[in-house]
Amino acid sequence: MPDWKPEIRERLSSVRLAPAREAEIVEELSQHLEDRFRELVTAGATADEAERKARDEFSAEDVLAPYLSALRRAHWADPAPPAASRAFSLHGLGADLRQSWRGLRSSPSFTAAALLVLTLGIGATTAIFAVVDTVVLRGLPFDDDDRIVAVGERIAMEKGRKGPFVMPGTAPPTDPQALSQIEPQNYLDWIARQQVFESMAAIDAYGENTLLLPGAPPEAIVRSRVTAGFFDVLKARAAIGRVFTAAFEDIVTRLRHVPGIVEASAAAPGIPLRVNMHIDGLTVSGKVLDGDTSVSLKSVSPAYHRVLKIPLRSGRLFEATDQTNSAPVTILSEAAARVFFRDEDPVGRRVVLAGGERTVIGVVGNARQGSLEINPHPEVYLPMTQSSNRSGYLVIRTSGNPDDVLPDVRAVVSAVLPHDPLRYIASMEELIARQTATRRLNMVMLSLFGALGLAISTIGVFGVLAHLVTQRTREIGVRMALGATRGQIIQMVLRNAMALVLAGIVVGGAAGWYLSTVAKQFLFGLDPHDARPFVLSAIALVVAAVLASYLPARRAASVDPTVALRSE
């Protein structure tokens, strides 16, 4: 039997290897040549012919050169990277860069995965910073805005002491550090004694005004009561206006004849999600009530409930015959009917409200007054013709885009009230969007984080599997040499990938189920433990993992067994 080892050691002399590693490679290549020698002898060649042919094949440039080149790349002895043991140098930096470049070129799959992760991370960081800069970091539009501070009082929530007043149907303040309004005398004491601020001023609740300029249409402005030093604090100038009121009957009647308007109505003091509320007390004739008897009192014209599609539960809605000289009537919301009549039918019953006795003619569905997160407060409706309100909101339902009829609405209002502008023009979709703006921003950010996490997970699965396939090249070659088919190799790689992914889904799903109560504050009427999102998320992860695993699996199945057996 020929001795192959001396020639192999000579060929490996140009590659600087550890003695143990060199011995291992010499033994492996010797066994390969011996197997080839025996194969040629079995095929009928003489011993000399078999030895010569095996050596010729081993010496072929296209067989041994790539193998030796791979060994040189894997075991090349560059200078050590900069560390505490040696000073920093440009030569060492160059060596580090060359080594990094060779490593990246030798693992293109890993390089692609790393670059994609970096791209996603940098892009997400940039986008998040842009949002935070706009919402949080950007200063106020005043000179020296970093020197402006808000000063107020915090009401300690002690036992037996009430907190700040919260309008029924609206969300209470969630920030324990939120400031409340101060008493006027306290402000005067602060002004007299403070030695911290350059200037100090007070501002009261805002109101609505109309600005009238010669030759210009009326313009709605916001009014606030401020002390004399207010504009010194802001280094700004203020605008002024005048208060107005409006009547609605003529306007509503004319709007019903405008093309594109299906129905029109009016309401005071406000509409759903606009907070404006008038709180009154309600009593039921011949009945003793316990607990809170406050209600939101709203005056509306006929068709109000049809315009907003507030469903009629029982009885009837207001009609044109409900006038000042007709019988006083009222309509209750479901919440009001439940509070004041429990399981009884309120239609036809008498209640005392707004300074007089009225007959309940109907019950309608609930409408949220100020917040989507708070259960509706009991609400009671009066005909506008039977109330003292002559100002409020127009409520219009259109057959198409509401913006298309806006010029005609302005023309009708201007014809009846030439000095009064339209204020707070918005669709119900816009009102809901304003209510949920913060929540939607949070959900968008969470969704982006989720999508980013899915993308990084997919890339990570791809990179890990590509690396594992590279490490198992020899094993795969052995399996294929022993008869494994391409499909079996793909199944093996995918099976290993799915084991890792399913383990991650189980652990992550359990943690997500446990922590899902944190997301409850972002959900409206949804169960945070609804199984459907968890199932859909698991399916998305499995699909992403299969797609990420397929390319490494296909590459593994395409390995040439001969090349694989010759690999390191």
Q: Model confidence over 190-222: pLDDT tens digits?
A: 887 888 888 888 887 666 677 777 777 777 777
pLDDT in tens, 298-315: 999 999 999 999 999 999
In 97-116, which positions are buried (b, 16+ CB within 10 angstroms) versus exposed (e)? eeeeeeeeeebebbeebeeb
pLDDT in tens, 438-465: 778 777 877 888 788 778 877 777 777 7
- The lowest-confidence range among 95-104, 131-140, 311-320, 557-566 is 557-566
Predicted pLDDT at 408: 92
pLDDT in tens, 2-34: 888 888 787 777 656 667 777 777 887 788 788
Predicted pLDDT at 239: 47
H helical segments located in 78-149: 90-106, 108-132
Question: How many DSSP H helices and E strands does the chain contain?
Answer: 18, 12
Q: Which two tokens stand for residue 555?
A: 């590459």
The DSSP letter of residue 272 is: T
The DSSP letter of residue 375 is: P
Proportion of the chain above pLDDT 70, given as a percent: 81
Residue 540: pLDDT band with limits 50, 70, 90:
confident
Residue 128: pLDDT band with limits 50, 70, 90:
confident
Section 344-367 average pLDDT = 92
Predicted pLDDT at 77: 43
Q: Tokens 């109560």 sit at which residue?
A: 517
Section 75-95 average pLDDT = 54
Q: Count CA within 13 A, CB hemisphere, residue 438.
A: 7
Predicted pLDDT at 84: 45
Contacts of 94 (CB under 8 A, 6+ apart): none
Q: Which two tokens stand for residue 372?
A: 């989507």
- The lowest-confidence range among 218-227, 443-452, 514-523 is 514-523
Predicted pLDDT at 282: 92
Q: Which two tokens stand for residue 155?
A: 């009401």
| Chain mean pLDDT for the chain | 78
Whether the pLDDT of residue 393 is over 90: the answer is no
Residue 185: pLDDT band with limits 50, 70, 90:
confident
Residue 564: pLDDT band with limits 50, 70, 90:
low
Q: What size, in residues, is the chain?
A: 568
Cα torsion at 104, 107, 112, 118 (round to 10°)?
-50
Of 282, 333, 346, whose CA–CA distance to 304 is shortest? 333
- The lowest-confidence range among 92-96, 120-124, 377-381, 564-568 is 564-568
Predicted pLDDT at 487: 85
Residue 159: pLDDT band with limits 50, 70, 90:
very low
Contact 385, 323 (CB under 8 A): yes
pTM (predicted TM-score): 0.56
Longest dimension (CA), the chain: 128
Cα torsion at 517, 522, 528, 534 (round to 10°)?
-110
Q: Sign of the C-alpha dihedral, residues 363, 365, 370, 375? A: positive
Predicted pLDDT at 174: 55
Query: Across the strands, what pairs with 280?
Result: 295
Whether the pLDDT of residue 331 is over 90: the answer is yes
SS3 116: helix
Whether the pLDDT of residue 351 is over 90: the answer is yes
Predicted pLDDT at 556: 73
